[in-house]
């Protein structure tokens, strides 16, 4: 199962969908292009990034409202309080 996060123009996650291994057979994260192509074939265009349920890549599982940071190649949760700082190692 591949989990794909749809990003808006600001790289904010707007939804996360799962794609069957039948439609996305290569191992993660190499199957990101397959997952995006499958979702686009369903009429779900946009910018898609693969996310890992167990956070084995991209630091955190993407959630609605999270931001994808291309420099860190990570999904980052919204800052819950102004006083909280981002841990660069975990992106939490």
**pTM of the predicted structure, to 2 decimals:** 0.91
* 53-64 burial: b if 16+ Cβ within 10 Å, else e: eebeebbbbbee
**How far is residue 26 from each of residues 3, 20, 36, 68, 79, measured CA to CA in Å?**
13, 11, 13, 23, 34
Query: Tokens for 8?
Result: 């808006």
Q: What is the pLDDT of residues 20-60, one digit of tens each?
A: 988 988 877 778 999 999 999 999 989 999 999 888 899 99
Q: What is the pLDDT of residues 3-13, one digit of tens each?
A: 999 999 999 99
Residues making up the chain, counted from first to last: 92
User: What pLDDT is stored for residue 10 in this prediction?
Assistant: 98
User: What pLDDT is stored for residue 59 in this prediction?
Assistant: 94
User: What pLDDT is stored for residue 30 in this prediction?
Assistant: 75
Supply φ then ψ for residue 34, to 5 degrees. Answer: -65, -45
* pLDDT(19) > 90: yes
């Amino acid at each position: 199962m591949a989990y794909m996060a749809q990003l808006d123009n600001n790289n904010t996650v707007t939804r996360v969908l799962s794609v069957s291994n039948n439609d996305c057979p290569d191992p993660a994260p190499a199957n990101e292009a397959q997952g995006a192509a499958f979702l686009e074939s369903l009429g779900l265009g946009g910018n898609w990034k693969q996310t890992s349920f167990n956070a084995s890549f991209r630091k955190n599982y993407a959630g609605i409202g999270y931001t994808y940071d291309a420099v860190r190649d990570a999904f980052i949760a919204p800052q819950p309080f102004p006083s909280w700082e981002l841990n660069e190692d975990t992106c939490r």
